[in-house]
Amino acid sequence: MRVYPLVFRAAFSWMDAERAHGIGAGLIGLAHRTGAGRVLHRLSAPDPSLHTTVMGLDFPSPFGLAAGFDKHGRHTLALIDLGFGHIEVGTITGAAQPGNPRPRLFRLVPDRGVINRMGFNNDGAAALAPRLAAVRAQLDQRYGSRRPVIGVNIGKTKTVPLEQAVADYEYSTRILAPHADYLVVNVSSPNTPGLRQLQEIDALAPLLRAVRAAAAGRADVPLLVKIAPDLADEDVDAVAALALELGLDGIIATNTTLGRDGLATDAATVTAAGAGGLSGAPLAARSLAVLRRLKAAVGDRLALVSVGGVTTADDVAERLAAGADLVQGYTAFLYEGPFWARRINTGLSRRRR
């Protein structure tokens, strides 16, 4: 019998979601600092059969943790103990910012979903850079060439006007690219005013060109863009064509959705949660559809990272079969507990055997 669902119902389900998240992350960090993380790592390390090479990087497993959990880069090593093949840190902005007012994170338990309007709360690029450098150095020392991969997800500072967004992204890139195994341009969060306008091709093309140029000191760092599930199909096609034209390394699909259709949670609870991006199981169908559309458009010319509504090893296997090179999760982590990545890795390795 799995213990964590009982713990969730007894200790976390009644608690403010952001507070519960903080406690959970703190306990994972404590386990790492006290040495229990080494035990967790021995239990959760991916089977060697799961090793995969994507964008020239060696991933211990195709399954990783999406941006949003480790916003401040403080729990990266502890999260790796749990068996994730990569951790995507962020979203990180040029300047530190507190994010939107609380409460800003809400569970939809019947849907195994979450609504968030966090607003890119983080410590800023200058504070994150030395943390990332230290993490990569420790990983190199501990794992050598087969270490878990660290992605860095960057977004726009809220107070920066949209017409100055390119300079803001360039600043973050110059500071963070030297410490990233791969870099993600996030233009798809619904919680920073105007951000999704940067997904429009006329705005996205110069932004991505500028980020690529700003990362010139790390010409080898793979560059990806993260898109929203709410894009129309023709806009998904346009982003795919642009990514190929600019020589990007990949696309991450998808971020959270503004949609609220088909939810099992009662309407009053959903309304009370208010604005924000919905993630978790309700996003699965659209994320899978976007993945399939991207695969048809780009074939094997770009790496595709699928995220949205992934819970089980079967879900991950379905995304890989549909064309994903890597798969990420986040929301299900809140419901499944610390051995979630281990269960997925075990399920995937059994399939491969």
Beta bridge partners of 116: 105, 277
Does 346 appear as a known binding residue?
Answer: no
Distance CA 208, CA 210 (A): 5
Distance CA 88, CA 339 (A): 18
Does 171 appear as a known binding residue?
Answer: no
Does 15 appear as a known binding residue?
Answer: no
Does 331 appear as a known binding residue?
Answer: yes
Question: In degrees, to the nearest 5, what angle opens at C-alpha 40 toward C-alphas 34 and 45?
Answer: 135
The answer to whether residues 302 and 148 touch, using CB atoms and an 8 Å cutoff, is: no
What residues contact residue 70 under an 8 Å CB cut-off, 6+ apart?
Answer: 76, 79, 87, 88, 89, 90
Does 259 appear as a known binding residue?
Answer: no
Backbone angles phi, psi at 112, to 5 degrees: 50, 50
Does 158 appear as a known binding residue?
Answer: no
Distance CA 102, CA 117 (A): 9
Does 186 appear as a known binding residue?
Answer: yes
Does 226 appear as a known binding residue?
Answer: yes
Does 256 appear as a known binding residue?
Answer: yes
Does 257 appear as a known binding residue?
Answer: no
**Residue 275, SS3 per DSSP:** coil
Does 67 appear as a known binding residue?
Answer: yes
Distance CA 156, CA 154 (A): 7
Looking from the CA of 140 toward its CB, the CA atoms found within 13 Å total 8
List 172, 188, 189, 287, catalytic entry: 189
Query: Would you call 189 a catalytic residue per the annotation?
Result: yes
Does 293 appear as a known binding residue?
Answer: no
Catalytic residues: 189
Q: What residues are designated binding site?
A: 67-71, 91, 116-120, 153, 186, 191, 226, 254-256, 280, 309, 330-331
Q: What residues are designated binding site for FMN?
A: 67-71, 91, 153, 186, 226, 254, 280, 309, 330-331
Q: What residues are designated binding site for substrate?
A: 71, 116-120, 186, 191, 255-256
